[in-house]
Structure 1
Amino acid sequence: MPTFHTYDGTELAYHLVGEGTPLVCLPGGAMRASTYLGTLGALADRRQLVLLDLRGTGGSAAPEDPATYRCDRQTEDVEALRAHLGLERVDLLAHSAAGDLAALYAARYPHRLRNLVLVTPTTRAAGLAVSVRESREAAALRASEPWYEDALDALEEVWAGRMDDGLRARTRPFMYARWDAAAREHGAASPAQINAEAAARYAGEGAFDPAATVPALRALTAPVLVLAGEYDTLVTPDLAAGLAALFPHAEFAVQRGAAHFPWIDDAGAFARTVEAFLDPEVHSVRAGGTRLAYRVWGDPAAPPVVLAHGRCGNSADWTRIAGRLAATHRVYAFDFRGHGLSDWPGRYSFELFRDDLHGFLEARNLAGATVVGHSMGGAAACLLAERHPGLIGRLVIEEAPPPIPLDPPRPVPERPAGELDFDWPVVPAIDAQLNDPDPAGRELLGEITAPTLVVGGGPSSRIAQEDLAGMARAIPGAEFVTIDAGHLVHTERPEEFLAALRSFGI
């Protein structure tokens, strides 16, 4: 366990979990040992987590002066850790009560922050008060739970100003989306991990000066992600949104079906949201309530091209093609819902993927852009072009499944073992539609007005090429070209694919 000495000589410990770019993590509690953060779901698979034990917690020594437990005093501990790690600027993540510590650090050392992630953060440093009405509304979302009545009675006692260990234990189910064995174990460990004396002093008199802090936060140039849990009664989504509004470069996200410990409730959803924010090559937009991650290349003033990936793929599949197109275009490649770093809401269909594409074009003000779609992405683009003929300027459909029932139909698939980088329910949902497609998809092909190129992969493709050629004939003025590459034309024969795009005027 590595250690360092902070400004007053106190020896502080930290823990390194995972590999990659360091992410300094501040635990909440208040004053809870960092072990409860664990691996932050799957985030440790993508980043090296630097989990700091605040003074007097975990492996860190208690200070000689207990007054230094106060939140504002501990900003110097965070700065000492940054210097010890030799980082010019840090990516900083703070959970719960550490949100106040991170806010004060951001106000005092704005030039040392590269990115700031605030996970269900408390808001005292910013002078934002908890609303009992909002907390009660959040609690009511759990009314069907068997523990609800007892936990709510205890929570009402807390809101009335009474608190003891018994009440705290009874309210604990509200802190998790599922009060299962894992949540019970995580919650039961809390009392032993908290330094009660330090917690009592953490928010003591003089710790917070919102009149000074808020102007500093409004001037912060670092990007900020504020992540709330839909069911959180401690830091409600509305309260977290108020905090996010203070930062000039903030992204606000609500993790659906999560409470105060979102990485416990859904590790994958948590890690995707945070990593999409931290990755400098990935951006996010909201489309119909779904967060869509995307990558971008090229001159912002150049003509736009949007690349839509196939089923079980993601935006990175287009990296080689995008890099070449970026010489003359502004290129966008996004992850459909259920894929890559976008949200995985669990419900999928060609129509929902069509809506993702529609929402992305509108969110980025890309009406009239050229759209290139592979397989499932091509089908989604085709559906959009049928219903909104003016939205797509030029359309390229690469190896999209024609809207003709499969013969023989595909059987119900079995999920493969291990972790996947897409949401498995996508596969059976789309297979069902391939077996029995909506006839309107075929009937409306004649409504497409965008100049269209249909690219087939030849005899080695799993798509029936005669059906694909028929699909091209049904689209007014469409061109059909064959590149003998199989289903993954742009991957297997990128030069020929790019040549076909150039001949088409892209």
Structure 2
Amino acid sequence: MPKFTAYDGTELAYHLKGAGEPLICLPGGPTRAAAYYGTLGGLDAHHRLVLLDLRGTGGSAEPADPATCRWDRQTDDIEALREHLRLDRVHLLAHSASGNLATLYAARHPARVRSLTLISPGTRAGSEEPGTEADGVFDPAATRAALALLDAPVLLLTAPHDNGARPARAAELAALFPYEGKAAAHHPWLDDPGAFVRTVRAFLAPDILALDADGVRLAYRTWGEETAPPVVLAHGRGGSGADWTAIAERLAATRRVYAPDFGGHGLSDWPGAYGFERLRNELSAFIRGLGLDSVDVIGHSMGGVAAILLAAEEPELVDRLVVEDPPPPFPPDPPRPLTRREEGVLAFDWPVVPSIDAELNAPDPAWGERLAAIEAPTLVIGGGPASHIPQEQLARLAGRIPGALLVTIDAGHLIHETRPEEFLAALAEFGI
């Protein structure tokens, strides 16, 4: 168990778990050691957890002066730990009562905080309400002024009873922080570890953004200049926006590229209920949530079907449409066989698969009927005989969309991965 010496000479202990960028974790209460965090639901697979035992808990020594256990004095312990770890700025996570400690540290050392994650925080720092634990710590106005200098994102995970029983606390925190809020259990890493890890990973990743789309938090990646013409890339089933990285990096030379993770995939929420219309709604809400009037949309497989439905239902949102080897919205003959679940941990929510399989075997007849309503210039790219998608059905699909072009690249189903140069050439010839 590694240890370091605080400024007043008290020996403090911390625990290291996992690998990756360090995340300093403060336990929830002045008498609680950090061991209850465990691995934070598996977050240690993605970050180096630095679990600090506060003064007088776990492996840390009792201080000679009990007054140094006050939250304002323990901010010095975090600063000493930061120096000990030789970190210029820190990612800081705090649970329950230690939210107060984290808030006070952020107010005192705003330039040292890279991000702040508060889980069901008990903080009242900056409150003007008399009799709170902030009395005598910082002047409330000074605390708020200091936090205004915090140039770091804040993730606030509040349990339902936090907002229900103490709604003033959530409002108080909202006034203190420009935070990104999300409902969670009081111990979310225990009650729903997958959702907790996905949320925190997306929040801490410098290249991941998030927005609410049709009630689902969608994580997404961007490339290119913000002022460049936008293009949205929709991934296939079981994938994520990261699957488009090689293509996105090339398109970013002239375009602003957005690649979301659909619900049930990657680092987005996994709502548990899935289907093509939900995917279409997410794609629509994503584009509108970005504040874009209309975009070019490129969709692979499942994402291609979502893009087709979007272009048919909301033609004003889609300038140009490219669909890469999508399963056509016509009943297959024979029906698609049921997909068997792979062994091990999946990077997507398994119920996506049976839901999509069922809709592909019995698609809504209106989907095929609405193809004629697509106004956007459309390019259909088929993967040729090596693809499991019937290519004659793709020809039928292209024939039902007014003016659609059909191009075949003999690459199988994963065209943009297997033959990226030919895929990009097809996009360029189409005007993307």
In the alignment, what sits opposite 1:244? 174
| Pairwise CA distance, 1:451 | 0.6
User: 1:307: how far off?
Assistant: 0.3
Give 1:340's aligned amino acid. G
Partner of 2:182: 253
CA contact (8 A) 1:302 1:330 kept: yes
Contact 2:110 2:150 in 1 (8 A): yes
Q: CA deviation at 1:282?
A: 0.4
- The 1:241–1:355 alpha-carbon spacing in structure 2 relative to 1, beyond 3 Å, is farther
Q: Which residue of 2 aligns with 1:38?
A: 38
Equivalence for 1:397: 323
1:377-427 CA-to-partner distances (Å, cap 9, x unmatched) read 000010011111111010001111101112332344443221111001000
Q: 1:124 — aligned with what?
A: 124
Q: Is the 8 A contact 2:30 2:69 kept in 1?
A: no
TM-score (structure 2 length as normaliser): 0.96
C-alpha separation between the residues in 2 aligned to 1:204 and 1:339?
A: 42
Q: CA deviation at 1:52?
A: 0.3
Give the structure 1 partner of residue 155 of structure 2: 225
Aligned-residue offset at 1:368? 1.6
Q: Which protein, 1 or 2, shows the higher relative CO under an 8 Å CA cutoff with sep ≥ 6? A: 1
In structure 2, the residue matched to 1:100 is 100
Distance 1:242 1:117 in 2: 16
Give the secondary-structure state (helix, strand or coil) at the position aligned to 2:316: coil
Asked if the contact 2:19/2:45 (under 8 Å) is kept, the reply is: yes
- Distance between the aligned counterparts of 1:379 and 1:452, measured in 2? 13
Q: Is the 8 A contact 2:231 2:255 kept in 1?
A: yes
Question: CA offset at residue 226 of structure 1?
Answer: 1.1
Residue number in structure 2 paired with 1:479:
405
Which amino acid letter does the alignment assign opposite residue 173 of structure 2?
A: L
Conserved? CA contact 1:125–1:209, under 8 Å:
no
Once residues 409 and 448 of structure 1 are traced to their aligned partners in structure 2, the CA distance between those partners, rounded to angstroms, is 27
**Distance (Å, rounded) in 1 between the aligned partners of 2:297 and 2:305:** 12
Q: Answer whether contact 2:30 2:54 (CA < 8 A) is retained.
A: no
**Amino acid aligned to 1:12:** L
Counterparts of 1:383 and 1:221 in 2: how far apart (Å)? 40
User: Structure 1 residues 392, 128: closer, same or farther in 2, change over 3 A?
Assistant: farther
Structure 2 counterpart of 1:80, one-letter code = A
Distance 2:54 2:396 in 1: 66
1:5 and 2:22 aligned: no
Write the distance in 2 (CA, Å) between the matches of 1:416 and 1:128: 55
**8 A contact 2:163–2:170 mirrored in 1:** no
1:205 deviates by: 5.5
Confirm or deny that 1:210 pairs with 2:140: yes
Corresponding residue of 1:435: 361
Deviations 1:111-135 (A, max 9, x none): 1111111111113113287xxxxxx
Answer whether contact 1:128 1:243 (CA < 8 A) is retained.
no
Identity of aligned residues (%): 63
Code of the aligned partner of 2:249: G
After superposing the two structures, state which structure 1 stretch, 270-279 or 414-423, moved more.
Answer: 414-423
Which amino acid in the other structure matches residue 241 of structure 2? S
Deviation of residue 236 (structure 1)? 5.6
Task: Tell me what 2:79 maps to.
Answer: 79
Within 5 Å, give how 1:344-493 maps onto structure 2.
Answer: 344-493=270-419
Counterparts of 1:213 and 1:11, CA distance in 2: 29
Gaps of 5+ in 1: 130-201
Cα deviation for residue 253 of structure 1 reads 1.8
- Distance in 2, Cα, partners of 1:128 & 1:346: 42
SS at match of 2:176: coil
Structure 2: distance between partners of 1:331 and 1:97: 41
Q: 1:304 touches 1:329 (CA, 8 Å); kept in 2?
A: yes
Deviation at 1:367, TM superposition (A): 2.5
Residue type at the aligned position of 2:21: T
1:59 equivalenced with 2:59 (yes/no): yes
Partner secondary structure for residue 126 of structure 1:
coil
Equivalences for 1:256-405 in 2 at 5 Å? 259-405=185-331
Measure, in 2, the Cα distance between the counterparts of 1:456 and 1:238: 56
Q: How far 1:448 moved relative to its partner?
A: 0.1
Question: Deviation of residue 313 (structure 1)?
Answer: 0.2
The code of the aligned residue for 1:68 comes to T
Question: TM-score, structure 1 length as denominator?
Answer: 0.82
| Cα pair distance change 1:235/1:305, threshold 3 Å | farther
CA shift in 2, pair 1:454/1:235, >3 Å: farther
After TM superposition, give the deviation of residue 220 of structure 1 in Å.
Answer: 1.4
State yes or no: 1:14 paired with 2:14.
yes
- 2:39 is paired with a residue whose SS is coil
Is the 1:413–1:428 Cα contact (8 Å) retained in structure 2? yes
Which one-letter code corresponds to 1:343 in the other structure? D
CA–CA distance in structure 1, aligned partners of residues 289 and 195 of structure 2: 22
Q: Aligned-pair distance for 1:203?
A: 4.0
The one-character-per-residue Cα deviations of 1:179-209 (angstroms, maximum 9, x if unpaired) are xxxxxxxxxxxxxxxxxxxxxxx94862454
Secondary structure of the residue aligned to 1:42 is helix
| Whole-angstrom distance in 1 between the partners of 2:338 and 2:431 | 41
- Give the letter aligned to residue 383 of structure 1: L
Q: CA RMSD in A?
A: 1.8
Measure the CA separation in 1 of the matches of 2:147 and 2:133. Answer: 19
In 2, the alpha carbon distance for the partners of 1:3 and 1:303 equals 52
Q: Which residue of the partner structure matches residue 112 of structure 2?
A: 112
C-alpha displacement at 1:466, in angstroms?
A: 0.5
Structure 2 residues without counterparts, runs of 5 or longer: none
